[in-house]
Amino acid sequence: METLSALLSSKTSDQLLDKIRATDANDDQQAVDVQPILLSMTKILDDVEGDIKGTARGRRVTSKSRTSLPPAFDHSMLESMLADIRNVSGELSCNCSEGENTDATTMKLLEMLKTYSWNTKVVLALAAFTMNLGESWLLLQRGNTNSLATSVAFLRQVPEIDRFDLLGSEVGKLIQAIRNLASCNAKFMMKVHPWYFSKDTSPISEAKLEIIRAAYWTIHSVVQIASLIGRRNKSTSLSMETGKTLAIRLETEVSQIHDLLMYHFKRCKEYIGKEMEDAYQSLVKLMQRPEGADIVEILNRFLSHGNMEKVDIEKLRSKHVLFLISDLDISLQEITVLNELYLKGEGYEVVWLPVVYGLYDKKKFVELKSSMKWYTDMPAILDPAVIKYIKEVWHFIKNPFAVFLTPEGKVACQSALPMLWTWGNEAVPFTAEKVKDLWRKRYDWRLDFLVDDLIDPELRQWIVEGKLICLYGGGSIDWIREFTTGLKFVLARIGESVEMVYVGKNNDKDWTEKVIHNLRVIKSERHFWARLQSMLYLYTKMRQGKTLTKDDPFMQEVMKILAYDGGDGGWALFCKGPNVIVRMDGETARAIISKHGDLETYARRHGFLEGLAYYMEEQDIPHSCVLKLPFISSEVPGKMCCDQCGREMEMHYTYRCRAM
């Protein structure tokens, strides 16, 4: 590898290196996900290479074969990348076909890609070349049978087909080398953690220098390749023999650059792996000290980054600290509730530990950070050793959770968030004894336990006033329409009024927005569901895995609401002030409401709530109980019994995409 490194070094004078570096906007680099670009490149290169080798097969394009993007993908960034690829493509088409100065064109392309990292510049330049190659190949392939393709190929000055035939073997090898090099650059972006790559220690510093040199000479080679393939007429000064020689040389250069980058990639991975393991073990020892550690020392370790002097944590000395740990999918509703609890609470501070990686949504990070009322002087990307500790010791997977630390740095509670959702600041200091005491004081199935001022202050006032209230939820627009229309019809007939509040569907952040038209929606939907789930989690944990049975009416009611939500229909809860009188699943509600004449008769005879309860008892509707619980910690809840038939329920693991 020293030979290859010396080769690049000898080709890159100090003056040239300074000019190359001058094209880079160091302070405004974009962290991007190039996977969709690489996928499209691979498809194009596979097709072209297959045609050259005579192994291509005609295949029908289906929706599955198109490049698809994950729902959370940053589409604005993709559009920006594609625009830059088109611009580079235009430069390659115009300058290279005319035999322009290769060095000047290379510098121009670097200038066009100045806001990207060096590895990303290479991938985008290779993508632009691949796009031109694919377009030319498509026009040439269709030119024999399609006059439109022939005319477009002429106007675009696409080279003759026989040039590809004569250079077929050499171009095929070039394509393979291009694919390998693009993949290698992508590995540096996605596999080498930026937290370590921002350092200036060996072997990182050597790799950075080689990447800059390699980026220049890779793009330089791309310009030459585009020039070789882009010359239209065989009468140009470049003979076929010379073209083959040039193609072989370029393939060799590209392959050598790939080998050199792979060498540095492996060195960096080994170095980073050792550094991270050492840092992780050091953190484990710090957190396991028998005598404890000062909270400031722990905060320094968790929040450390290259800019340590910017992190002011002295204000947190001698304080209890709540670590809020989440990725960027934490909702603004959750942050709003935690803000209110923090501002009303005393005796603890909150510190957000964002679990993000190299490629993350900076706009989303800033939006979340700016919405927080507590301490936010943290780096966007934490030390990978801290992330490893959070995942391996505190078992973070996806859902937000909170760890409560004493001023001496001791972990007092590893799952404080469910307590906050359930009891708010009354749960501080989050001990097991505190939980048992709170259950003893407030263990009753009442609406005023499910809903507090943070969840919905107006609803809370209705409870105090003793109004007739209907909470309902579910994920079926048809059911919601049938239920609300039918209920309003019956109420109008008997002259009764009910305050109807829609609470949405658990774990579906976007659903409520789809059905919100003319509905009174609970103020903090996320808090309502988080409280229900937290109640069940805390209670099963307190019972230490014992089976929940029908002998436990409070938890049976909580389970019923969560089970109804797990179905496809809806559910409803009817209350008089704080007292829950009637609860029904979606199918029962549909059956009763559809027979509004019978319901009206019962309501006139017994009153609305009592009549509804009597009428519901007479219905014989099959049940299906599906209970979905979030993964709050590594602990698995105990056995559960069906709330309706009493049988022990089967347990399954479900992995759910939030975007669905």
Output the pLDDT for position 312. 67
Per-residue pLDDT of 348-363, as tens digits, reads 999 999 998 766 778 8
Q: Which of 304-308, 427-431, 586-590, 641-645 has the highest mean pLDDT?
A: 427-431
The answer to whether residue 568 sits within a structural domain is yes
Q: What is the mean pLDDT of residues 434-447?
A: 82
Residue whose pair of structure tokens reads 């493509």 in the numeric block? 89
For residues 208 and 215, give the distance between their C-alpha atoms in angstroms, rounded to a whole number.
11
| 652 CA to centre of own chain | 24
Is residue 551 in some structural domain?
Answer: yes
- Residues 545 and 426 both lie in one domain: no
**230 in the same domain as 90:** yes
The count of domains in the chain is 3
Quick check: 640 and 563 in contact, CB under 8 A? no
Within this chain, do residues 556 and 460 fall inside the same structural domain, yes or no?
Answer: yes
Length of the chain: 660
> Is 90's pLDDT higher than 50?
yes
Question: For residue range 154-180, what is the model confidence (pLDDT) as tens digits?
Answer: 776 666 555 555 556 777 787 788 888
Which of these ranges, 80-89, 176-185, 270-279, has the smallest mean pLDDT? 176-185
Q: Reply yes or no on whether the pLDDT at 659 is more than 50.
A: no
CB-based contacts of 594, cutoff 8 Å, min separation 6: 482, 486
What does the block give as tokens for 317?
A: 């000395």
Residue 323: its pLDDT value, please?
Answer: 95
Could you give the CA distance from residue 64 to residue 117 in angstroms, rounded to a whole number? 31
Q: Confirm whether 631 is domain-assigned.
A: yes
505-540 residue pLDDT tens: 886 665 556 556 678 889 988 899 999 888 888 877
pLDDT given for residue 469 in this prediction:
93
Q: Are residues 540 and 558 in the same domain?
A: yes
Residue that terminates a domain, selected from 439, 462, 480: 439
> Quick count: other Cβ atoms within 10 Å of Cβ 134?
17
Q: What is the pLDDT of residue 166?
A: 54
The reply to whether 133 falls in a domain is yes
Domain boundary pick from 439, 455, 488: 439
Judged against a pLDDT cut of 80, whether residue 373 lies above it is answered with yes
Same domain assignment for residues 262 and 245: yes
Q: What is the pLDDT of residue 634?
A: 46
Is residue 286 situated within a structural domain?
no
pLDDT category of residue 550 using cuts at 50, 70 and 90: low
- Is the model's pLDDT at 12 over the cut of 60? yes
Q: Which of 493, 440, 444, 447 is nearest to 470 (CA)?
A: 447
In this structure, are residues 199 and 384 in contact, taking their beta carbons and an 8 Å threshold? Answer: no
User: What pLDDT is attached to residue 76?
Assistant: 72
Residue 83 — pLDDT band, cuts 50, 70, 90?
very high
pLDDT tens digit sequence for 271-313:
989 999 999 999 999 998 877 678 888 998 898 754 444 456 7
- Please report the pLDDT score of residue 244 as a whole number: 77
pLDDT at 61: 41
Residues 200 and 306 in one domain: no
Asked if 307 and 264 sit in the same domain, the reply is: no
**E strand or H helix at 570, and its extent?**
strand 570-576
Give the percent of the chain with pLDDT over 90: 24
What is the domain extent for residue 302? Answer: 295-439
Q: What pLDDT is stored for residue 399 in this prediction?
A: 87
pLDDT digits (tens, 9 = 90+) for 210-228: 888 888 888 988 888 887 7
Instruction: Specify which residues 471 forms β-bridges with.
Output: 501, 573
Lowest mean pLDDT among 90-104, 234-248, 517-531: 234-248
Q: Are residues 400 and 470 located together in one domain of the fold?
A: no
Q: Which residues, other chains included, contact 226 with Cβ-Cβ below 8 Å and sequence gap of 6+?
A: 92, 93, 96, 129, 132
Round to whole Å and give the CA distance between 277 and 334: 33
DSSP codes joined into one string, 320-334:
EEEEEEE-TT--HHH
Higher pLDDT, 646 or 259: 259
Asked whether residue 423 is domain-assigned, the answer is: yes
> What count of other Cβ atoms lies within 10 Å of the Cβ of residue 175?
20
The per-residue pLDDT for 394 is 94
Residue 549, pLDDT > 80, answer no
Do 312 and 231 belong together in one domain? Answer: no
In a shared domain, residues 29 and 118:
yes
Say yes or no: 261 and 337 in one domain. Answer: no
Q: Do 475 and 505 form a contact (C-beta atoms < 8 A)?
A: yes
Q: In what order do the strands lie in the sheet with 411-413?
A: 348-354, 320-326, 401-405, 411-413
Residue 425 — very low, low, confident or very high, per pLDDT cuts 50/70/90? very high
Q: pLDDT tens-digit profile of 244-259?
A: 787 788 888 888 888 9
Averaged pLDDT of the chain: 80
Last residue of a domain, one of 412, 439, 466: 439
CATH of the domain at 331: 3.40.30.10
pLDDT value at position 253?
Answer: 86
More confidently predicted of 74 and 557: 557
Residue 61 lies in a domain: no
Place of tokens 């087909």: 161
Considering the domain architecture, whether residues 153 and 10 belong to the same structural domain is answered as yes
Burial per residue of 557-595, b for 16 or more beta-carbon CB atoms within 10 angstroms, e otherwise: bbbbbbbbbbbebbbbbbbbbbebbbbbbbbbbbebbee
